[in-house]
Amino acid sequence: MSQAPVGQSVATPAWVVATKWLLIALTVLGCTYLSWRAVEAGSWLIVTVAAFIAMAVLVVYATGRGITLKYLLPGLILLTLFQMWPIAYTVATAFTNYGDGHSLTKEQAIEAVQAQSVRPEPDSARYGMSVAIPEGETIAEADLALLLSRPAAEGTSGDNLLEGQELFVGTLEGLEPLPADGVTLRGNGTVGEAPGFQVLTLVEANERAQDVAEFAVPLEGGAGIKAATGTQAFVGRTTTTYDAAADTMTTIDGTVYVAHEGNFVPQDGQGPPLPTGWTENVGFDNFSSIFTDSTLRSGFLKIFLWNLAFPLLSVGSTFILGMLLALLFNDPRLKGKGLYRSLLILPYALPIFVTAIVWSAMFNQDFGMINDVTGLNINWLGDPWPARAAVLITNLWLGFPYMFLICTGALQSIPNDVKEAASVDGAGPIRTLWSVTMPLLLVAVGPLLVASFAFNFNNFGLIYLLTGGRPFEATNSQVGNTDLLITFAYRLAMESGSPNIGLASAVSIIIFLIVGVLSYGMFRQSKALEEVN
């Protein structure tokens, strides 16, 4: 602030001061608590961040300096942690092969490979076993976990004891005690229910029989726990040896595997790599594979073109309909405008998760309302072109009220005397509309149209909920005919059989770049940058 106070300072009420210090104290205490939790878990990054936040809060709010920062700090911290950092992290991930089979560090991967090769020994310890997945995930895709139980030895204590059984949970990362709270045991001593897990029935577990057979919980010193039967697991010794000096793996039959691009591959080039790989820096591989890999390239190009066409056509169609309606209602003699407007706005007021799903139901070929009413028999969501039309029709319905609103606002702000001037000069209503009203309207709403384009460019909700990107290419089930880049990236990372987060990050980065170029062009057009004072 440039000017110092001149008059008598007004005394700050005591409760305000008290509240301020209470908030500061709570923040610092909260950060301390977080740090303590993070230290226990060994996460130094979180400790650093929490300490930094506590210090920043103290410096900014407990002293009289830095008035500006007092107003910016909370927003800045949130912006840095949850928008800037994730973007930087996405960039970093785009240069790795992170994904299914490549989510561990190399050390963890070696342990996992060794654990997978364990063989039972005559006196192997046995556990009662239930196969489980994290609660709420789908059986087909979720990471497996083994819930293990064994009779507790005399004198053992801990929170993982239940009815004389010692409980553990085994994942790819190792074996940990399973707190007995809320756990129930079956008659044979295996875990029947555990909070946070969905215990699979034998039938359900059978769906993942292959994965269960390959699944192994690594233990110290090259040992591991593997499933023996449907309800039993054994502890065994590894049969695969790792040679740290040569960075090679040797299996029981003598095959030597060498480390190559995040996997152990056979040295002689024959046969598949070992199943567990690790995260590795792959440079520009993800980017270059988008542009060089033949299936990926054609799919990407197709999605990219539709990603440009869809927002353009959407903005165009919604704007034309919205503007026509705004013109229609822009007549002082028309009665009941308020009611019409309230009803026309409804499509815009409904949440996307309602409208997109309802439209998807209406486009259903067999019993959807569109085919029923129009008497057509179009496979709206199953054929490429009808699906694209369905997306555009739906978005026209969803988007025209917005255009109607902003055109109404803009029309009201065009002064009457301009139109009168045109009329005095002998222009008819059509000519006035075309040569006077329209240009002024476009100038007023132009930037909003650009914003609308930018929004629809990444309109994930609509596509995901309406078509899910379907129909898919016959040759490549990753590429949908109505996919946008953002839904494509989402499928790569979250939904495909073998998620490839590195590749999805690369697609995200490409979206960043496209959006960046488009925004730059837009800024050049608008005077926004010069208007800041």
| Residues in region 320-339 near another protein by CB under 8 A | 325, 328-329, 331, 333-335
d(CA 196, CA 134): 6
If the CB atoms of residues 245 and 532 are measured against another protein, the closer one turns out to be: 532
Which residues in the 266-285 window bind another protein by CB under 8 A?
none
Size of the site for another protein (CB under 8 A): 145
Write out 444-489 in H/E/C secondary structure. HHHHHHHHHHHHHHCCHHHHHHHCCCCCECCCCCCCECCCCHHHHH
If the CB atoms of residues 222 and 311 are measured against another protein, the closer one turns out to be: 311
Binding another protein (rule: CB under 8 A), the pick from 14, 15, 63, 67 is: 67
Burial of 331 (0-12, 13-18, 19+ CB in 10 A): exposed
Query: Residue 499: CB partners within 8 Å, gap ≥ 6?
Result: 99, 100, 492, 493
Residue 430 touching another protein (CB under 8 A): no
d(CA 55, CA 61): 10
Which residues in the 452-491 window bind another protein by CB under 8 A?
452, 454-456, 458-462, 464-465, 486, 489-490
Choices 163-171, 216-224, 269-277, 437-445 (CB under 8 A): range interacting with another protein: 437-445
Which residues in the 46-65 window bind another protein by CB under 8 A?
46
Q: How many residues does the chain have?
A: 533
Binding another protein (rule: CB under 8 A), the pick from 373, 385, 474, 497 is: 373
* Least CB distance to another protein at residue 45 (A): 9
Choices 184-192, 229-237, 348-356, 382-390 (CB under 8 A): range interacting with another protein: 348-356
Which residues in the 491-520 window bind another protein by CB under 8 A?
493-494, 501, 504-505, 508, 511-512, 515-516, 519
Binding another protein (rule: CB under 8 A), the pick from 126, 287, 444, 496 is: 444
d(CA 297, CA 304): 10
* Least CB distance to another protein at residue 327 (A): 10
* Least CB distance to another protein at residue 157 (A): 24
Residue 177 touching another protein (CB under 8 A): no
* Least CB distance to another protein at residue 384 (A): 22
Residue 85 touching another protein (CB under 8 A): yes
CB atoms within 10 A of CB 271: 10
* Least CB distance to another protein at residue 199 (A): 15
* Least CB distance to another protein at residue 297 (A): 21
Contact (CB, 8 A) for 128 and 189: yes
Longest dimension (CA), the chain: 106
Report helix, strand or coil for 332. Answer: coil
d(CA 430, CA 35): 69
d(CA 161, CA 172): 23
CA–CA distances in Å: residue 102 to residues 138, 139, 262, 425, 493: 21, 20, 7, 73, 13
* Least CB distance to another protein at residue 470 (A): 13
Residue 71 touching another protein (CB under 8 A): yes
Binding mask 128-157 for another protein (x = CB under 8 A): ------xxxx--------------------
Which residues in the 394-423 window bind another protein by CB under 8 A?
395, 397-403, 405-406, 408-410, 413-421, 423
Q: Which residues of 236-245 are buried (b: 16+ CB within 10 A; e: fewer)?
A: bbbebebeee
Residue 6 touching another protein (CB under 8 A): yes
Burial of 149 (0-12, 13-18, 19+ CB in 10 A): buried
Report helix, strand or coil for 50. Answer: helix
